[in-house]
Amino acid sequence: MRKQILLVAAFVLLLRLAFLHQAIQGDDVYYLAGAEHAQVDPLHPNHARYPFLGQIVDMRGHPHPPLNAWVLGALLALLGRVEEAPFHAAYALFSLIAALSALAIARRLTPRPLEATLLFVVTPAFVVNGGSLEADLPFLAFWLASLACFVEAAEARSTKWLLASLAPMALAALAAYQSVVLTPILWLYLWARRRDWKPAWLAALTPPIVLAVWQLWERSSTGGMPAAVLAGYLQTYGLEALTQKLKNAGALTAHLGWVVFPLLAAAAFRSKSAWALLPLFAAAAFYDPNPLFWASAGIGALVLLWCARNWRDFAAQWVLVFFAAALVVFFAGSARYLLPLVLPVAIVVSRQLTSRWLYASTACGFVLSLALAIVNYQHWDAYRRFAQTLAPQAANGRVWINGEWGLRFYLERVGALPLLRGQALEPGDIVVTSALGYPVPFTTGGGMIAPVSEDVVTSPIPLRLIALDTRSAYSTAAAGLRPFDISTGPIDRLRAETVIARKPELSYLPMNAPSADQQIVTGLYSLESNAWRWMAAKAIVLLKPPATPTPIEVTLVIPAASPTRTITLLLDGRQIAQATYSAPGTYTLTSPPLQPAGSSAALTILAGKTFSAPGDSRILSVIVTGAGFKLK
């Protein structure tokens, strides 16, 4: 047993040592925002506010409770600033806890515990996501630690081990909402092994109790429950829509086919009734003929079919309960969501096949996972290097970040600022845009864009976790449902551009004019149907003054959903027209003839009220088709 512990510990530590200088990645930046807020409000780190997709959001709506922000906040307080190597070294402890807990559980459930544990630690999500500062590994560590202690308690009817399970259960609850799934899984184990032990039945309720206490404490201390804020964001961004749920289900099924190496899974979970899955294979192939999806989804379905046929087995129950919960709780279909069920799959596989097959599969799985981790390292490191090239510009002027993730972290570190949706830039400003990182629309304040520098993020390894023009669902199912993708194409395209002053060319500005984006200062969104644009509460456009006095004319549509009824026009800050309309419809608001001095005039359009459409985070008022000086 000691040799197995040392072997597993050495493997995990060497793996984490290899990626000690991993760049800040993915959602790390948002957890670090919570860590920074913890320096001034340590009891409420999730009360941080930060830009997300161009809007300021409240971290109380984050889909994870505050444990990870507390951990990062403690490291930040200790070290004074975010340093990749010491932060990752600290987080290696969670990988170690998870791996050793997995070994302890496997000793109770399979005659080949070492093989099952090694299959667990080489799964892609453990290798790749273990190098991040997100909540997944802390949650996994406490999830498995609580299970290991609880199983030991149930087997020995030990009050000591039962009490020992309470702390990791509580910490798991403070790391992730899905910790509540521990309760039915632990109850299933008790029902089979120690159903008459009442204290253990009550102890298994720890996760929902801790979450409920935290919600009520937040309500009493701050006036609002995080779950309510989260529910609002889920509705605002349409994350609970049926299409999102179906994509989530498809991606998770494909990921399930890769928690152990697929050939091993196919051999271990083969079944005489597998022919019943042929319609699923056909449907998956019809949706995406690439075998990376339909074969992966088929093997994932084979795992679920085997577990359903062997539902009396605790490992099968663990898989079925957690996977069913994942279909309900999650919306993005990320591979890391299934980390808590990798171990039971590995345990079942270890019972079905010989050690020779298991070690061969461990080697194959590790090679694949290591390759994916290297691609992941190269992706985020490219952001770190590109940000450093812009440090002089950020020190001497304004640099804006039109992207998310690690790119934003490293650019903020050198002094850049996150770009908000619809923000107007000024001549001399530089904007850094990631084609992959959900760029938001902005305006150039009447100027034009000129390139400063650019970089294509890529890797010579033809595997992609998240990238342009791929259909990988490793991090999100937004672009496709494959567990990863095979490609040599670019991962991302980064470009830095500067705003150059430019005089307006048009006196009347149709929204579909080629130069419209250069004359829109703020408040008008992207062109739609090649004819019109939605307006926010306030819009400003630059116009070329006419040679003779000419009326200002704005053509607009007030949709039925809009509460706007009053429209006001200002020219260079002076009111020139106002109208109140009794009902939705198409209108033209016209001013008296005007002839402003100078080479440019600023027309401001004000809407009385605004609204937001379901699934659309923009602030909307009316639709504008044209605005400016127009001769009759």
One-letter amino acid for residue 420 of the chain: L
d(CA 186, CA 229) in angstroms, rounded, equals: 30
The string of DSSP letters for 243-257 reads: HHHHHHHHHHHHHHT
d(CA 146, CA 160) in angstroms, rounded, equals: 13
Query: Residue 235: what pLDDT?
Result: 64
Please give the backbone phi and psi of residue 358, each rounded to the nearest 5 degrees, phi first: -65, -45
Q: Per-residue pLDDT averaged across 546-558, rounded? A: 94
Query: Residue 428: what pLDDT?
Result: 87
Query: Residue 563: what pLDDT?
Result: 94
pLDDT at 227 over 80: no
Categorize the per-residue pLDDT at 443 as very low, low, confident or very high, splitting at 50, 70 and 90: confident
One-letter amino acid for residue 10 of the chain: A
Please give the backbone phi and psi of residue 324, each rounded to the nearest 5 degrees, phi first: -60, -40
Query: Residue 518: what pLDDT?
Result: 81
Indicate the helix (H) or strand (E) that contains 376: helix 355-389
Range scoring the smallest mean pLDDT among 46-60, 264-278, 402-416, 552-566:
264-278
pLDDT at 211 over 80: yes
One-letter amino acid for residue 476 of the chain: T
432 touches 416 (CB < 8 A):
yes
Q: Ranked by mean pLDDT, which of 66-70, 279-283, 536-540 comes out on top?
A: 66-70
310 touches 316 (CB < 8 A):
yes
d(CA 621, CA 568) in angstroms, rounded, equals: 13
| CA neighbor of 249 nearest in space, from 304, 326, 335, 345 | 326
d(CA 141, CA 71) in angstroms, rounded, equals: 14
Instruction: Report domain extents, the chain.
Output: 1-224, 238-353, 381-500, 508-629
Strand runs labelled E in 485-573: 485-486, 492-500, 508-510, 520-524, 533-543, 550-558, 566-571
Indicate the helix (H) or strand (E) that contains 100: helix 84-109
| CA neighbor of 504 nearest in space, from 379, 575, 603 | 603
DSSP letter at 608 equals S
Indicate the helix (H) or strand (E) that contains 448: strand 448-457
Query: Residue 446: what pLDDT?
Result: 67
d(CA 109, CA 33) in angstroms, rounded, equals: 41
* Alpha carbon 35 to chain centroid, angstroms: 18
Using a pLDDT cut of 90, give the percent of the chain over it. Answer: 74
The 3-state DSSP composition of the chain as helix, strand, coil percent (nearest 5) reads 50, 20, 30
Q: Per-residue pLDDT averaged across 435-453, rounded? A: 83
| CA neighbor of 383 nearest in space, from 345, 434, 430, 341 | 434
| CATH number, domain 508-629 | 2.60.120.260
Categorize the per-residue pLDDT at 238 as very low, low, confident or very high, splitting at 50, 70 and 90: low
Query: Residue 225: what pLDDT?
Result: 79
Per-residue pLDDT tens digits for 312-323: 999 999 999 999
Return the axis-axis angle of helices 113-121 and 339-352, rounded to nearest 10°: 140
Q: How far is CA 451 from CA 64, 430, 454, 455, 582, in A?
A: 39, 9, 8, 12, 47
pLDDT at 631 over 90: no
* Alpha carbon 388 to chain centroid, angstroms: 25
pLDDT at 569 over 70: yes
d(CA 553, CA 533) in angstroms, rounded, equals: 16
d(CA 382, CA 377) in angstroms, rounded, equals: 9
d(CA 465, CA 475) in angstroms, rounded, equals: 7
Query: Residue 272: what pLDDT?
Result: 67
pLDDT at 552 over 60: yes
Give 495's strand partners. 433, 454
pLDDT at 201 over 80: yes
CB environment 540-572: b (16+ within 10 A), e (fewer): bbbbbbbeeebbbbbbbebeeebebbebbbbbe
Per-residue pLDDT tens digits for 352-381: 999 999 999 999 999 999 999 999 999 999
Categorize the per-residue pLDDT at 240 as very low, low, confident or very high, splitting at 50, 70 and 90: low
d(CA 527, CA 241) in angstroms, rounded, equals: 26
pLDDT at 423 over 90: no
pLDDT at 237 over 60: no
538 CB contacts (<8 Å, ≥6 apart)?
522, 523, 604, 605, 606, 607
Average pLDDT of every residue of the chain: 92
Burial class (CB in 10 A: 0-12, 13-18, 19+), 33: buried
